[in-house]
Amino acid sequence: MEFSAHQIAGILNGEIVGNPDVSVSGLSKIEEGTEGTLSFLSNPKYEEHIYSTGASICIVNNTFTPLKTLPESLTLVKVDNAYACFAKLLEFYDQMRRKQPRIESPSYISTLASVGEDLYLGAFGYIGDGAKIGNNVVIYPHVYVGENVVIGDNTVLHPGAVVYADCVIGKNCVIHAGVKVGSDGFGFAPNEEGEYQKVPQIGNVIIEDNVEIGSNSTIDRATLGSTIIRKGVKLDNLVQIAHNVEIGKNTVMAAQVGVAGSAKIGERVQVGGQAGISGHLHIADGTQIVAQSGIPSTVKKAQVLMGSPGIPLEDYKKSYFGFRKLPFILTKIQEFDKKFKELNNK
C-alpha cells in the first residue's frame, strides 16, 4: 500500500519540505534508503546519510537544518519528535498488516468455548473446553489454547505458542512464536531413597494487559496460586520465569534472563541479558541489573547492580580496575619479597 508525503504529514501533523505528492510503499534505514521508501533521522550521528540517501521521504525533527545540499528526490516531513513519529507510523503499518477475521481450516474450537467478535484463527489452531476468547483476537497457525484459558481483547498469539489450562492473558498482549505459558514449575522433592518425586503444579499464570513476551520464552505455572506478570511488562526472547514469580508493572528483561521460583520483581525494573535472579527474594522498584549479573539476595532499594554477586555499579568498576591490576600487583610483591630476602641475607 502506498502513502503520499501529504498523507504522512497529515497522520503526524508534520510540515512538508519538498514534493507533497511523492509516495512510498516501504520503510528503510536512512543509510539503506531506496526510491519509494520512507526513512527517518533523529540521531545526529546518522546525519551524514541524509545527504546521500535514496529514500523518497524522510521524517526529521523540526530543528533539523541541512548543512549540505539534500538529494533532489528527497522530501522531508518535519515533526516535533522524529523517532516517536516514525514509531507511530510503524505501529500504524503493523496494524494494517494485522490478520483479517476468519477461521482457517483445519482448526478446532470446542463447543464449550466462547469466542468474541472478529477472531482470526489460523490453520491447526486449537481452542479447548471452557476457553474464553475476547474480541479482535489473532491466533496464528499451530497455536494451542488449553481448557479454561482466558484471552483478552486485541491480543495476538504468534505461531507455535502454547497456553496451558487455566491461564489468563489480558488485553492488548503480544505472545510471540514458541512461547509456553503455564508449563509445570520445576517442583521435585527427594524421598527417603534420594529419588526425586514430582510435586504437582496446580496453580496458573496470570498475564495482565499490554504485556509482550518474546519468542521461545517460558512462564511456569505456580505450584499453588499464580505466577503473575503485571501490566506493561516486556520480556525479550528466551526468558525463563519460574513458578510463583511476580513481575511488577512496566518491568523489562532482555534475552536469556532467568528468574527462579517465588522471586518478587518490583515495578520499572530493568534487567540486562543473561542475568540470573535467585528465588524467594525481592527486587526493589526501579532497580537496574547489568547484563550477565547474578542477584542472590534481596535488593531493598533502587540501584544499578553489576557482577555476580551483583554489587553497586561504581563499586564494581573500582573492583574490576583492581582485578585488572592484579598481575602488576603480584609482580611488585614478588620483587619486594626478593629484595627483602636479599637485604635480610646481607
The domain spans of the chain are 3-96, 161-309, 321-346
Residue recorded with cell 489473532: 138
CA-nearest of 256, 239, 290 to 247 is 239
Q: Are 39 and 33 in contact (CB under 8 A)?
A: yes
**Rounded average pLDDT over 78-88:** 92
Q: Is the pLDDT of residue 320 over 80?
A: no
The confidence score (pLDDT) of residue 304 equals 94
Pick the CATH number of 3-96 from 3.40.50.300, 1.10.3080.10, 3.40.1390.10, 3.40.720.10: 3.40.1390.10
**Per-residue pLDDT tens over the stretch 263-294:** 999 999 999 999 999 999 999 999 999 999 99
295 vs 329, more confident: 295
Assess whether 142 carries a catalytic annotation.
no
Residue 323: pLDDT band by 50, 70, 90 thresholds? confident
The bridge status of strand 3-4 relative to strand 15-17 is unpaired
**Per-residue pLDDT tens over the stretch 148-190:** 999 999 999 999 999 999 999 999 999 999 999 999 999 999 9
CA angle 177, 115, 102 (to 5 degrees): 65
The confidence score (pLDDT) of residue 169 equals 98
Across the chain, mean pLDDT equals 94
Residues 6 or more apart whose Cβ sits within 8 Å of residue 319: 307, 311
* Nearest-angstrom CA–CA distance, 248 and 171: 17
Residue 345, H or E segment: helix 313-345
* Nearest-angstrom CA–CA distance, 145 and 129: 9
User: φ, ψ for residue 205 (rounded to 5)?
Assistant: -120, 135
Task: Work out the number of other CB atoms within 10 angstroms of the CB of residue 65.
Answer: 7
Length of the chain, in residues:
346
* Nearest-angstrom CA–CA distance, 57 and 80: 16
Residue 91, H or E segment: helix 82-96
100 vs 123, more confident: 123
The bridge status of strand 150-151 relative to strand 108-109 is unpaired
Pick the CATH number of 161-309 from 1.10.10.410, 3.20.20.150, 3.40.50.1220, 2.160.10.10: 2.160.10.10
- Among 142, 243, 280, 282, the one annotated catalytic: 243
321 vs 83, more confident: 83
The confidence score (pLDDT) of residue 178 equals 98
**Per-residue pLDDT tens over the stretch 205-241:** 999 999 999 999 999 999 999 999 999 999 999 999 9
The two counts, helices (H) then strands (E), for the chain are 3, 40
CA-nearest of 208, 220, 210 to 245 is 220
Burial of 162 (0-12, 13-18, 19+ CB in 10 A): buried
CA-nearest of 292, 308, 284 to 258 is 292
**Rounded average pLDDT over 27-39:** 93
The confidence score (pLDDT) of residue 337 equals 83
Q: Are 208 and 229 in contact (CB under 8 A)?
A: yes
Q: Are 183 and 222 in contact (CB under 8 A)?
A: no
Instruction: Please give the distance of CA 93 from its chain centroid, rounded to a whole number.
Output: 20
